[in-house]
């Protein structure tokens, strides 16, 4: 694991970049501990970029019939949403910020994370968007259909956020076949690699962090927004 201070983040937010896959349960334990520490003023806010070994995670709205083939460990995540897959080739961003000083607006936080990912992908040559009624980040697949390239799932406790987003750089897309991703059966999933834009995690991280200022600006308290 490595920690980097030179980023587009302000001093009150720590950046952590894990260079080896982090087991999902271990990451969940670390997030919960960090959530408590941030809420009590004992630790800085955190943006954590990482990758997990193959795992299926269940959000609070996960339905049993959407687990089709539990070929990997299934973990109750505690976040909102349904089933999702995490694994090698997928960039995970966990965002732990204190909304008590950033507007106490959970909906705006989710919207801002979506915008952060969408803007980053645009900088990398992939146009993506929000889709009404469908959580996640969507793009045009190689066959012209809409497909999911990123997932969003958050939890807020003590006004401190947990979880965040995942973006498919080059995962094994067949691994998504064990679930109905996010409960949406009629649309597929895609990746940067499938779209002909292979990208190293470090390059994605750099593009993401270049947009960090825009993301944080969107979290300012409502009365200071323009």
- Per-residue pLDDT tens for 113-149? 999 999 999 999 999 999 998 889 999 999 999 999 9
Domain tally, the chain? 1
- Contact of 200 with 90, CB cutoff 8 Å: no
* DSSP β-bridge partners for residue 83: 58
Does residue 153 have a known ligand-binding role? yes
Tokens of 2: 């490595």
The structure tokens 């996960």 sit at 62
Indicate the SS3 state at residue 174: helix
Does residue 150 have a known ligand-binding role? no
Catalytic positions are: 182
pLDDT tens digit sequence for 9-22: 999 999 999 999 99
Q: What is the CATH number of the domain that holds 147?
A: 3.30.930.10
- What count of residues does the chain have? 226
Instruction: Count CB-CB contacts under 10 A for residue 21.
Output: 16
The pLDDT of residue 226: 39
Residue 75 belongs to some domain of the structure: yes
Does residue 183 have a known ligand-binding role? no
Does residue 224 have a known ligand-binding role? no
Tokens of 34: 């960090």
Does residue 36 have a known ligand-binding role? no
Element (H, E) at 147: strand 146-157
Distance CA 93, CA 126 (A): 18
Across residues 201-226, what is the average pLDDT? 85
Which range of residues forms the domain containing residue 161? 2-220
The pLDDT of residue 54: 97
Residue 76 belongs to some domain of the structure: yes
Residue 225 belongs to some domain of the structure: no
Residue 211 belongs to some domain of the structure: yes
The structure tokens 């009404």 sit at 132
Give the β-pairing of 188-189 and 146-157.
parallel
Distance CA 170, CA 181 (A): 17
């Amino acid at each position: 694991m490595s920690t980097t201070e030179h980023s587009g983040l302000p001093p009150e937010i720590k950046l952590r970049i894990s260079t080896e896959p982090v087991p999902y349960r271990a990451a969940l334990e670390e997030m919960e501990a960090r959530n408590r520490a941030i809420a009590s003023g004992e630790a800085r806010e955190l943006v954590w970029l990482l990758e997990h070994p193959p795992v299926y995670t269940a959000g609070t709205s996960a339905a049993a019939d959407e687990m089709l083939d539990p070929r990997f460990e299934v973990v109750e995540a505690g976040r909102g949403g349904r089933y999702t897959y995490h694994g090698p080739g997928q960039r995970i961003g966990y965002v732990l910020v204190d909304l008590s000083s950033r507007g106490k607006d959970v909906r705006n936080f989710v919207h801002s994370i979506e915008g952060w990912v969408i803007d980053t992908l645009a900088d990398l040559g992939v146009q993506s968007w929000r889709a009404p009624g469908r959580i996640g980040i969507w793009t045009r697949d190689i066959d012209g259909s809409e497909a999911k390239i990123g997932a969003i799932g958050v939890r807020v406790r003590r006004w401190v956020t947990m979880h965040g987003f995942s973006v498919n750089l080059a995962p094994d897309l067949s691994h998504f076949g064990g679930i109905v991703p996010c409960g949406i059966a009629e649309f597929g999933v895609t990746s940067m690699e499938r779209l002909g834009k292979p990208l190293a995690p470090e390059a994605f991280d750099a593009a993401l962090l270049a947009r960090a200022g825009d993301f944080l600006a969107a979290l300012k308290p409502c009365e200071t927004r323009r």
